[in-house]
Structure 1
């Protein structure tokens, strides 16, 4: 049912534009060139987009792009309420509509989590000592090690799980906060960590909300980096032994973003997948079995995943197209999109994994599909950059979008349940 209070912007094109404009509209709108031309002939809206909704910023960018393209040609702009069709009474002008959009507050940009190297080393040293002590005193097979903190980002503590320990307490294997090794070695090994956190001060003594968000992200990222440092030196084993251990860094109570850390810290496998299925708090990425079956019939021409994050998306759905225009490319189209925009030449080491439907690309580093703990955080970051401004300095010039592509897509797909599991 249409929301009777929803406000939509409708753009009508009253003449057939040149071929270059048709192609640009085709890319922005996700419509075929012939469909764009048909709508221009019939007076059917080229674009009908809700304003001031959950994706106001994305909708506004898309609308501005379309208005820029049609500006030299005969067109109409309408502001329609409650699903009404465009008519004389709803007509407005582009300048007025853009002024309203500009006045609307843009949502705060997501914080790019950056670990503090010194803090990460202090936490890693404490965790190494505590885990070694735990293993010496309890010669069990530990299937999980977690560094946990509170919503106030107080000093973290170590929690560990083993089949033997869980059997003694009757808890399931993911009840780490309540298990027999819930706060292990805190007094013996975590004194330096406590002092380091005290030096950083009380999180809520920061009066500016953005500053609090940055400090909170830094503390969580440093906890994650501490486990990554240990993993890089082989502390948790290799091969099958490593796949039998799950590393977690997160908060209590659990937060949906904890799943992102689990994906960044661990190779794909049954243990990680069971945690994501049984313990993760956030939504799951919708699977598209039909599209996967279609691609399985291809004998060649499919791209290899550029990094573990994209590989995980493709295991669930080979590309994703959302109604707001966001696309993540599948193995059938990724190479072609990167060739078209000459990404290897202009942004070496980066790969275009999707776009926002408004002329900006989603770029990630491309170390390959295999899990590498040393590259876990950097290879997971998604940056947004104008496709006409590709450059080697994507990390500096791009706008940080997320470091958990799967979780970011799952949340957006949950908001738009008619999302299609195919890239455009």
Structure 2
């Protein structure tokens, strides 16, 4: 998809910072540039820290804003000059640079715009707000995403996308510690979140896995440096009748730095450099990806307490099954439970028949992934784990995926159970 606004043609040449851009009418350029600066000067950046060495383009933009708000226009101009040389397709920086050059020529850049209904200007305003707000309100130390309860130690990384704030977070796990490594801007579907059907131009909400890497050599230029497909639709999506396919994390055309906040057909898009940095940190088929439009951050201590409670709950479920205590095992299942092709009564009858022939059952569980599942009307917890089953007459190894909900008494019970192929 084409970017909704073109690069700015600089008003004056500033040494090595001069960039040749597409032609556009001067009046529209002036309105866009003035609009961008007006928006930025009205957004606070308290708490944002710009690193002393090699800031990201977004952090560099924050430094520019801090200089402008402090009245240091010359410093802001110098920083923008460096940023536009470094990232000539970063169009917000180009717009601001052109505006500051216009200010040096005596043009008034503080007059509010009257064409605020212009969709291009609104997209620009939204992108500016999202970027600067994210830098100013980065998650604190010793916090984790609210979706996370437990993560299998085999996962080195977790990818979380805050769809509402157009932000991707990469977290790294070491032992029991889950720490934020970096975050950056990431755009989403044209029509927002909560994908339901093929072609609705929405980004899904849920827990997924990165399944593959597709190199840019086999993709159209639209996808930039490549693509990381995710496992939409997953079993939970199919249970709810959701359709569609081809939801990817991917790059952008090389003539732009990033796309507008809502501009894809449902994928999550990011700067090509950000995609290249992400690729070696994901394990295909394993790395969890959280797409959420209700993301918040909570303390590690709160998450650890909930993790321990859920690990104990799963342990009790396993113990009842291993003890061939069929009725005790079935007590963990919600009155509205279903499995593929079975309601609770049929499931219970099946388990009673199977267990009648068992002299022993041995269940081994690997460390589970446990998440608060985003986007549900009723609070739902997903547990996913690899399980080895052995009895006197059967053995198997599989992945089990459970969705837990509270019953009328407030007790957590298994509402849905699947055995996905991967």
Alignment TM-score, normalising by the size of structure 2: 0.28
Higher percent of residues as strand = 2
Alignment TM-score, normalising by the size of structure 1: 0.28
